[in-house]
Amino acid sequence: MHVIKSIGWVVGLSLVAGVISTAPARADSYSDITGTNIWNNTAPIFETDTELPDGLIANITRVNRESEQAFDTCNNAIAQAEQNTPTIRRYARQPGTETAALPAACRQLEALRAEADNLRRTVEDVERSRSNPALLTW
């Protein structure tokens, strides 16, 4: 009887000791950022000696300036057209065939947007040619 009781105590105490010893053994991982050598997983990009096309920055600046002016002019033209439009309600089953005329300033703004897209593609091509994938670290 004492043997069974002793074995029960040994098994019980072993379980309690095992639970107590495994509880503080959690794997909380905190990175050490106290030093000066912090790796942030950003790959360095080494540029080559490719030059920008002549006048690219001047064209971008010109398109930006003209776009701002065309945007303001287009907004003013649309606001003026809305003021001049009569407020007559039209009840019909089919949509009307009349379309509003697009102001010239808005057509100019659309042309400038297309030119800006072409300049954006040119800049992306230059960036792609400047970065050499053989020089990347991974």
Q: Is the pLDDT of residue 22 over 80?
A: no
Burial of 71 (0-12, 13-18, 19+ CB in 10 A): middle
Task: Check residue 131 and report its DSSP letter.
Answer: B
Contacts of residue 122, Cβ cutoff 8 Å, sequence gap at least 6: 53, 56
pLDDT at 10: 80
If pLDDT is split at 50, 70 and 90, which confidence band does 3 have?
Answer: confident
Q: Which of 27-31, 79-83, 86-90 has the highest mean pLDDT?
A: 79-83
If pLDDT is split at 50, 70 and 90, which confidence band does 29 have?
Answer: low
**In whole angstroms, what separates CA 82 from the centre of its chain?**
36
Q: Is the pLDDT of residue 18 over 90?
A: no
Give per-residue pLDDT as tens, 48-66: 566 777 888 899 999 999 9
The pTM assigned to this predicted structure is 0.51
